[in-house]
A and B are shown apart, each in its own frame.
Chain A
Amino acid sequence: MSPIQRLFWLLCVLNLVLATSSGSDPHGSNDTLSHEYCVLGAGPAGLQMGYFLSMRQRDYIILERNSGPGSFFNIYPRHKKLISINKIYTGRRNREFNLRHDWNSLLSDRPDLLFQRISRELYPNADDYPRYLSLFEQELGLKVKYGVDIGRIKALGFRGDQGYVLTDQNGVRYQCRVLLVATGLWVPQQVDFLGSDLVEGYESIPTDPEEFKDQAVLILGKGNSAFETAQSILGRASRIHLYSPSPVRLAWQTHYVGDLRAVNNELLDTYQLKSLDGLVEGRLDDIAIVRRVNNEGKRRTGNKTSGKSLKAKEQLYLTLSELLDNQNGNKSSNVTAQNLPGYHTDNFSLRQPYDRVIRCLGFRFNFSIFDGSAQPPQCSGARGRLPGVTAWYEGRGTPNLFVLGTAAHSRDYRLSAGGFIHGFRYTVRAVHKVLEQRYHNIAWPATKLPISQLQSWILKRVNEASGPYQMFALLGDIILLRGSHCEYLEEFPLQALSQLSALSGRHVSEHGLMVLVMQYGLNHTDTLGPGRAESEWTKAWRSNFLHPVLYYYKTLPTEKDMRQRPVGWPLPRPEAVHHMVEDFLTEWDQPISHSQPLRRFLEYCLQTDLRPFYAESCFLMSLTSRNPPVFCRQGYLKKQGILGNSHLWQHAREAGLMPDHQGDVPPDTSVPEYLTHAGAAVVSRINFDL
């Protein structure tokens, strides 16, 4: 081996050593991936946000711990029936309008990327949902990393003002300027009481009804999961009782889709027709479930039945913790009849034993992955199950961390649809617009309209917009008045109205602003009783059903105004308000009941006459008034007058709305010979033979 060869060999070895040592750091702690936006969770909310981020070509990543999107739907609802409406025939082809009746699709610019491509069932199978989400993710090419289980989230800087660092199960770290938490609600909600260990959870009960054959079942909870469970075993169980603190709230009465949907409510029928099922109200935290051998009364010694050994079947009893002696716990042997309420009150409703007790109490947000500094506080409403967020969905005290999807429901809990796909797809879009303004200085998109077009634009929105329709009372259109024109902002989160300028980058002028909201009404009447529908437009404010409401403010309401808004109102008392009367067909387009009252309201707010006029009237007013009405100024005087025809003029004249100018000069349309040469291009008249 020549020295040169040796040297060469040495270099090779050295190279190899260097290469291996640099390539295999066993700890990998320096593996930090950096993104501007991290979206946590590839469920509907996460993917929805991913779509908006990718539309703007932002640097984002969606992190998902499971191997596919929407894994929640692989398990839930346990009986596999989605109760979100998938109405594919509406008689309309308006895509925006159709989203009012499509509760499953996500928003995108692709007309074919709707859930109806996957399922045509009104109440689809839950397995179809992850399939839809996969389709959505793949066709739009969203950036999702599956199998990344983030276990720890740390804030950078002072409570996240520098961003967040996420660490996954392999120690890989993701550093992001903005964290969008779309992890949903999936931790089963539990209530701690004596004997709660004897209770089965909704998440793990068998779904085969045969397993409940001839069993008495007590279900804790009266929500959709409780009723769904009850409905599936209705034909097998002997007796089903539903127990929870509050009475059943029916979605068709409360207009809150989180309340009991009629699709799940068969048990109400068997209850009211006295077919052994029933509902009972009572507190959960001071009950106890005890196990006791099923027999009647105390057995007397010497009173033995025949050689048949007694089936020592243990059954479950509901009792109150105060009736139990503290020391005996729930050992079945120790429970005596005196420990049961039936001993004290002989007709106690739940005195009979149960074979199973099932907990159907819903889910809570997973707070455990957040470090103290990064953790949004628990919201005081909704039994602390949800993180507290601002009106623009940023965690309280965790800047640059936003909560999306079901977990962001605290803003409209039991009020609107923000906890459901058909609602939060719009709030996600609103949050994205906030992000664009805050991090990229791109103001909230606005349509500039001449004031004479405002009425028809409002009618257009009222008749098709799905966002304010689904997210009623929560998202509303903002109309910034600017004198002769206005700026129209769609679907702004109303609770953040006082922060409008900062969040949207749009400013309120001295002309004030209007807000268009869809609202349900007072709901003081019997939902199905007489007088439930209002058809008189002057009584529109008494409308019970969803209807558009316009608020007019001279100045932007302050936070204090917002806080002190009238009870039950989405917004503070305005300068003037206009309710458009509810409509049976949700078509607010009729001239007398809808358009004209709206026009008069706009006229009041703008302090100007907004009536349309035919060109002839504009001609007259343009020559005899130094400042003709706005319709003439923005139409006729811009050379776009509405001529109309004699047939229409005749109508207007008969109605006394248009003067007859004939006078005593007979109409004469022939041009005298001596005048013909005077006609110019814009004057020339042609006689068409129609």
Chain B
Amino acid sequence: QDNMCIVYLVALIFCITKVRCSSNTSKLIEDSSQSFTERMKTGKTSFIYFGNHVNPTIKLFLDQLEMSADALEDYGISVVKVNCSKETIAKYCTGEKLITKTYLLRGSEVLRSFDIDTVFDVSAIVSHVLFTVLYNEVRYVHTPAELLQVENAAKQMRDVVVGHIPVLGLPEHRALMEAAFVYGTKYQFVQTTGGPLLKHMGVDDLSVSKARLWFLHCKDMSRQMDQCPFTPMRKPLDTINIHTFLQLMEARLVTEANVDPSEVDMVHNHLNVPVLYLFSHPQTKRLDRATAQTLALQLRGEVGVVLIHRDSTDVKTPLQYNAAYRLPQEDVKYFTLNSAEEVMKLFKEELLQDYKMVEDEEENEEHWSDLEILDDEVSESVYRDRDLMLDLESITELTSDNFQSEVTQNKITVVLFYFKWDAVCMAFMQTYIQVADALEGVSGLVLAAVDCGEWTNICSDRDVTSFPFIMIYRPMEAPQPYRGMLGTESLQRFILLSQISGPVRLSSSADVLSFLEGDLYSKHADLSSIRVLGLFTSTLDTGVTSFKEAAKLLRGEAILGLFVHREAEKWVEGLSVNLPAVLLSRGSEVSREAYYLPSFSVNDLVSLVQRAVSDPFPELTVENLPWYLELEKPLLLLFVGKEYSTETSLTEMKHLLSSGQLPSFLPCWIHLGRTPVGRSVLEKYLGFVPPLPALVMSQLSTGGEVFLFPRERPLKAKNILQWLQSVENRDEHPAGVIPDTKWSPPVPVYDFLATMDQEAPGYASQRDPKMKTGAKEGHRDQDMTPNQRQTTHSSPKPQAPHEHSEL
């Protein structure tokens, strides 16, 4: 099968190089709506552009698209264009004049859509399309820990090819993807873009940004070992170099032969790679082998090593030589070797230099260019919207002139403090506008914003030091800071809930029932099914004041009620709790929980309610995770999808929970459909995605080990307990380790001092102390004067040839 691959690849290379000659037979297909519908049914993969108007940019793109059709045909991917001005295809032929999106479809399913800025030329098209198609085969990793997981999974199975692609869509990326397509079944391909891995792979000079590739020899590794040994590819990343390199990795480390160097036929010769020949004497065979082995390891991927046994009669090389090398297309050159270092020096410093030169040139070109690209997701995504005019109509812009009047005249004024130039603020602004639009009709509610870059005093007078920041103002009340998630749902829920000024005074048992069942404030039931009721027999109870105070602080987070009545006792009957108490209801069916409140402070009360409203078996979502991580318990985490068994597994977990056998764990679950990022969590934990549902125990705050519930065992409460027990007894092997990543700077700093030292020697160096001994303050002042330049504006014959002195 290997050979097939190679043949295929060579054919491919041939195709690529031939493409331009055979351009008159374009492979680009133009679809009508009918042929498009048929295409959707076939289930084949196609890369499709729907367009209706051509401007110069689109024209360029279409040319590239046409070229890519030939390239992608080899991978069984059709490249199609649809003329929307002739055909109308719903969903894709949008009304826009210029359509700048392209789609990768498998049948009717959209695998991904691309902006034509992303797929700007053949290389970009091929690399992005293949990357998407190979999404499940090529692993995308960021950190050394993630790589380690991949390695662990690959050990004893197959070798790993790691490509570092700093910029996606360039020819290097394409080359890697094409190689992955061809060799994907043989090797585990890994792609990375970030810096952390570079250091891990021994790249010291992080300032040079270029594509790199490493071959990780994992196949022969036992599972115990840490890291697979690896060989870096030193030549630039292109299809031929990668192919050559992979062939070399497959070749024997040291070839042994019994013939003269010129007779040895090795794969290296065909791949145009230099070969080093070492002659071995029978007496020193073992030593020679060891030397050859050492040298071969050091030269791996660049030079082939052959050990020639002199005892063979076919070896006729004069005895004065003990080594030889052969450069591609050249004859064998013999020499005498004194030490292994000498050979290394010869190859590294002389024979392999031409490659280096090429590389260096490229490096200089690329230097720092990647620093012009934004490398954080928030800034980049906001920057990409720089042509987008935010529609601020639904938001009241506050200024020094109207701030006071606005926040006092509305029932509720939500005020966002932001900076225009802060990406995080502007990312949130989109959310804020969404909330404002959604709440437009709510009377007495105004969403407003202060640009702290302009109205600096408004913000500094209120000690706002963290941005974005939201404050909620109500007339005659102290403003309440919003300390929740900065997302549409959280904020909207908070604002709506905070319309209820807690606690709600309940006067009869009937009221209490309707409060607990959610009938009272039923329109808020969607926001929070949880009701918290303070039960007191007498208004004299000091707890009443604290409860009221706590309700104020919890405004927007929970709906609180207060029942001060002699019938209060009735509501805790059978709950083995005495008054005063807090009663918690999670909706009508579920049983209520009661907590006895001895003498308590407001803060205790707040945290009690916060703790009480949290779910004992939560579904972890992006928005709620922090509440649960605070507990610092190991997570017993069930990953579920749409499978039929989901329900039973959740029920099993609940059984376990209600039996009270999981006190030291936080049982929780993630639904991968609703929280797709959960998939990546699972993948990072284990290095792969097991069939769902999958139960994982993650010791996030202690030790960081991750255990996977064995797939072959049914997910039953009993089995789970057993498994937890054996984990505790250390009978289970961890399936992964959560790394204690040190989040170092992702990109090296631009060293201004080094640049200064280089370009203006002495400019940035401290003064020589000897020169300045006894210097007085005043002299220093003169030295400091930055502008004492000698460019005097000469006047007509300054008569006095006097010395210049300070005026």
Contacts and interface: CB of A to CB of B under 8 A. Distances in A.
A308 interface: no
Interface stretch (B75-83, B179-187, B597-605, B759-767): B759-767
Nearest to A642: B486
7 contacts: A248-B793, A567-B767, A611-B746, A615-B485, A615-B622, A657-B376, A680-B614
Interface stretch (B229-237, B540-548, B562-570, B680-688): B680-688
B679 A665 contact: yes
Nearest to B624: A682
Given A566-B763, A600-B745, A595 B421 contact: yes
A523 B789 contact: yes
A599 B422 CA distance: 12
B118 interface: yes
A387 to B, nearest CB: 12
Given A413-B781, A600-B750, A674-B647, A591 B743 contact: no
Contacts of B382: 591, 648
A114 to B, nearest CB: 13
Interface string A625-653: 11111100000111111111101111110
Contacts of B805: 245-246, 283
A625 B764 contact: no
A603 interface: yes
Interface in B391-406: 399-400
Contacts of A584: none
B795 A589 contact: no
Contacts of B483: 638-640
B492 interface: yes
A657 B380 contact: yes
Q: Which 5 A-B pairs have the closest CB atoms?
A: A643-B487, A380-B778, A282-B800, A680-B615, A668-B673
B487 A663 contact: no
Give the one of B486, B641, B740, B779 with max A CB within 10 A: B486
A576 B485 CA distance: 36
Contact of B799 (A345, A414, A614, A617): A345
B787 A255 contact: yes
Contacts of B626: 622, 636-639, 641
Interface size class of A (residues with CB under 8 A): 35 or more
Interface stretch (A8-16, A19-27, A93-101): A93-101
B287 interface: no
Given A619-B625, A637-B629, A591 B437 contact: no
A381 B466 CA distance: 45
Given A281-B798, A523-B786, A674-B647, A577 B745 contact: no
A350 interface: yes
Contact of B767 (A283, A565, A576): A565
Interface stretch (B43-51, B300-308, B408-416, B450-458): B450-458
B401 to A, nearest CB: 9
B424 interface: yes
Give the one of B168, B614, B677 with max A CB within 10 A: B677
Given A538-B371, A640-B484, A640-B485, A564 B431 contact: no
Contacts of A523: 786-787, 789
Interface stretch (A53-61, A66-74, A446-454): A446-454
B621 to A, nearest CB: 6
Interface stretch (A232-240, A455-463, A499-507): A455-463
Interface in A244-277: 244-249, 253-256
Interface string A276-293: 001111111010000000
A627 B743 contact: yes
Interface string B359-376: 000000000100111111
B383 A642 contact: no
Contacts of B685: 624
A321 to B, nearest CB: 12
A310 interface: no
Contacts of A662: 676, 679
B28 interface: no
B619 A683 contact: yes
B622 A643 contact: yes
A636 B626 CA distance: 7
Contact of A684 (B379, B526, B752, B803): B526
B753 interface: yes
A630 B743 contact: yes
A341 interface: yes
B94 to A, nearest CB: 16
A626 B375 contact: no
Given A256-B787, A564-B772, A596-B371, 16 more contacts: A320-B800, A379-B781, A383-B806, A415-B786, A453-B467, A459-B422, A540-B752, A578-B752, A592-B372, A595-B423, A607-B744, A614-B377, A625-B740, A629-B743, A678-B617, A684-B529
Given A459-B422, A460-B419, A282 B802 contact: yes
B787 A249 contact: yes
B140 interface: yes
A440 interface: no
Interface in A504-551: 520, 522-524, 538, 540-541
Nearest to A637: B626
A347 B428 contact: no
Given A523-B787, A622-B629, A643-B622, A541 B529 contact: no
Nearest to A271: B795
Contacts of A688: 438, 488-489, 492
Contacts of A645: 430-431, 434, 488
A604 interface: yes
A460 B378 contact: no
B615 A608 contact: no
B517 to A, nearest CB: 14
Interface in B430-447: 430-431, 434, 437-438
A603 B196 CA distance: 14
Contacts of B740: 625-627
B514 interface: no
Contact of A652 (B380, B430, B647, B806): B380
Interface string B753-786: 1011000001111111100100111111111111
B423 A415 contact: no
B614 A657 contact: no
Given A615-B487, A656-B193, A668-B642, A447 B676 contact: no
A655 B676 contact: no
A30 interface: no
B120 interface: no
A157 interface: no
B749 A614 contact: no
Nearest to B692: A665
Given A245-B802, A623-B681, A677 B590 contact: yes
B589 interface: yes
A199 interface: no
Interface in B583-640: 586-587, 589-590, 613-615, 617-619, 621-627, 629, 635
A563 interface: yes
A473 B136 CA distance: 56
A595 B589 CA distance: 53
B650 interface: yes
A666 B782 CA distance: 72
Nearest to A568: B786
Contacts of A341: 799
A459 B421 contact: yes
Nearest to B747: A600
B376 to A, nearest CB: 4
A151 interface: no
Contacts of B140: 659
A658 interface: yes
B689 interface: yes
Contacts of A382: 778, 781, 806
B527 interface: yes
B378 A380 contact: no
Nearest to B558: A681
Given A626-B738, A643-B485, A685-B489, A659 B787 contact: no
